[in-house]
Amino acid sequence: MPAQLIDGKAIALKIRQDAAERTKKLLVQGIQPCLAVILVGEDPASISYVTAKEKALEEAGMASQDIRLPKNTSETELLGLIDKLNQDPLVHGILVQLPLPQHINEDRIITAIDPAKDVDGFHPVSVGNMVLGRPGFLPCTPHGVLVLLRELHIPTSGAHAVVVGRSNIVGKPLANLLTRRDINATVTVCHTGTRDLAEHCRRADILIAAAGRPGLITADMVKPGAVVIDVGVNRVEDPESKKGYRLVGDVDFEGSKDVASYITPVPGGVGPMTIAMLIQNVVQAAEHRLQGV
C-alpha cells in the first residue's frame, strides 16, 4: 500500500490561522506583531524565501519591515542596523536571511540579535534554552517536523529516529528535540563520516533526511512501514520546466512512497511548516513583550 502523504500545507494553515487569531487579540490592545527581515545581496532563493515569509506575515495581520541591503554592506553596518532594531519597541522579531556574503561573519551577526527577538531560534541563548528544555524560541524547521509528527499522532516514544545531516539549523537541533521526554525517541545522527549509511537508515522507524543532497536516500534504504520526513529542498536542472529547474528532496520520493507508511512530499511537506512556525514565534514574541517577559 502506498504511503500516506503528509500534507504540510494543511497543517501549516492551522498554525497560521491560530497565529492570526492571537494577532487579533493583540491588535485590540494596540499591538501589531512586527518582524524585521534583513536581506543582504540578491540571492534568488533568499529573495523567494523572504517574499513567502512576508506574505505569510501579512495574511496573519502582522507587520514586516522589509530591509534590503546591497551585497557589499559591511559587517559593521549590519551590526549597527541590528542594534537599532534591538532597541525598537515596535519590532518584536528580527530575522537575518542566510546565507550572508562571505565577508560577513554569520555567527557574529546571529549573536548580535536580542534573544527576546530571535524568532529563528539560532542565538546561543536560544540554543542553550532548547538543550536544557527551558522556555524559548525553537528553530522553525525542527519544530515544524515535531508538529507534523504530533498532528498525525505518529508514535515517537521508544521509536528509533535516524537524522541524516548535522547542520546547526536542522540536524543538530532536531536530534536534540527528539530526545525530549515528551517525544522520547532514541536518536541516531548520520553524517559524512557515517559508515554504511544505508544500514543505519534501514533501522529507522522515523527517518529524517536533512543533508541537502538530492536523492541521497533511496527506496532500499527505507525500512518497510517507516515514517519518512524529507527536509531537503534541492534545485535540479529540468529543461522541460518553465524555470529550467525543479525542486526535489533528499529522498527518492517515487521509490520510497511504496515502502514507507507516511512520507512528506517536496515541495509541500516540511517547507510550509517552517514558515508557519516562524509566524508562531513572531506572535509569541509580541505576547511576551506585552507580558513583560
> Quick one: pLDDT band at residue 1, thresholds 50, 70, 90?
confident
Cβ atoms 170, 231 nearer than 8 A: yes
Domains of the chain and CATH, by start:
33-114 (3.40.50.10860), 140-270 (3.40.50.720)
- According to the model, what pLDDT value does residue 2 have? 86
Least confidently predicted of 34-48, 60-74, 170-184, 205-219:
34-48
- According to the model, what pLDDT value does residue 293 have? 63
Buried b (16+ CB within 10 A) or exposed e, 14-37: ebbeebbebbeebeeeebebbbbb
How far is C-alpha 128 from the geometric centre of its chain's CA atoms? 18
* Gyration radius (Cα) of the chain, Å: 19
DSSP 223: P
Tell me which residue of 245, 289, 267 sits closest to 90, measured CA to CA. 289
**Looking at 9, 18, 43, 53, which residue is catalytic?**
53
- According to the model, what pLDDT value does residue 48 have? 87
Distance CA 282, CA 95 (A): 10
Q: Is residue 268 within a helix (H) or strand (E), and if so which, with residue range?
A: none
Q: Which residue has the higher pLDDT, 158 or 242?
A: 158
Tell the residue number behind the cell numbers 529540468, with chain if given.
238
DSSP 241: S
Distance CA 166, CA 173 (A): 9
Q: Estimate the crossing angle of helix 270-291 against helix 44-59, to 10 degrees.
A: 50
Q: What is the pTM of this model?
A: 0.94
Q: Cα angle vertex 208, ends 100, 187, to 5°?
A: 105
- Residue 242 annotated as catalytic: no
248: β partners? 234
**Looking at 118, 120, 230, 252, which residue is catalytic?**
120
**pLDDT at position 274 over 80:** yes
Residue 233 among known ligand-binding residues: yes
Residue 165 among known ligand-binding residues: yes
- According to the model, what pLDDT value does residue 286 have? 97
Calculate what percentage of the chain has a pLDDT beyond 90. 90
- 116-164 pLDDT, tens digit per residue, is 999 999 999 999 999 999 999 999 999 999 999 999 999 999 999 999 9
Which amino acid, residue 227? Answer: V
- 5-63 pLDDT, tens digit per residue, is 999 999 999 999 999 999 999 999 999 999 999 999 988 888 888 999 999 999 999 99
Tell me which residue of 247, 187, 257 sits closest to 217, measured CA to CA. 257
Neighbours of 198 (CB within 10 A): 12
**pLDDT at position 89 over 90:** yes
- Residue 29 annotated as catalytic: no
Average pLDDT over residues 222-226: 98
- Residue 258 annotated as catalytic: no
